[in-house]
Amino acid sequence: MLDAFSESTLRNVIGKCIDEGPAHIILDLSKIDFVDSSGLGALVQLVKKAQTAKGSLQVVTNPRVTQTVKLVRLEKFLSLQDSLAVAEENVKGK
């Protein structure tokens, strides 16, 4: 679950990874069954942080999380991937 209680930990941990490098991060949320607005906000902040560092944040997701992201029309901003293999391939190309 990625919600108001867990998003600050996610922001801190992944934000530190972006700061220390590498700038291209793969975040596997494929086992997450729920993301609320706080979680989505954290993902948006992390994508912006990665972009500022000349990197990217690839988010591996599942149909449920993808549906939530599409509901709020963030699918074009967040780099959603169906599998870890696709995310890894995207990072290699950068």
The 10 Å Cβ neighbour count of residue 48 is 12
61, 69 contact by CB (below 8 A): yes
pLDDT digits (tens, 9 = 90+) for 22-65: 889 999 999 999 999 999 999 999 999 999 999 999 999 999 99
Yes or no: say if 78 and 50 are a contact pair by the CB < 8 Å rule: no
Q: Quick one: pLDDT band at residue 92, thresholds 50, 70, 90? A: confident
The reported pLDDT for the residue numbered 23 is: 80
Tokens read off for 51: 């972009």
pLDDT of residue 21: 86
Q: Which domains does the chain have, with CATH numbers?
A: 4-93 (3.30.750.24)
**Per-residue model confidence (pLDDT) at position 94:** 64
Contact 16, 22 (CB under 8 A): no
Q: Specify the pLDDT at position 7.
A: 95
Q: Which residues pair with 2 in a beta bridge?
A: 35
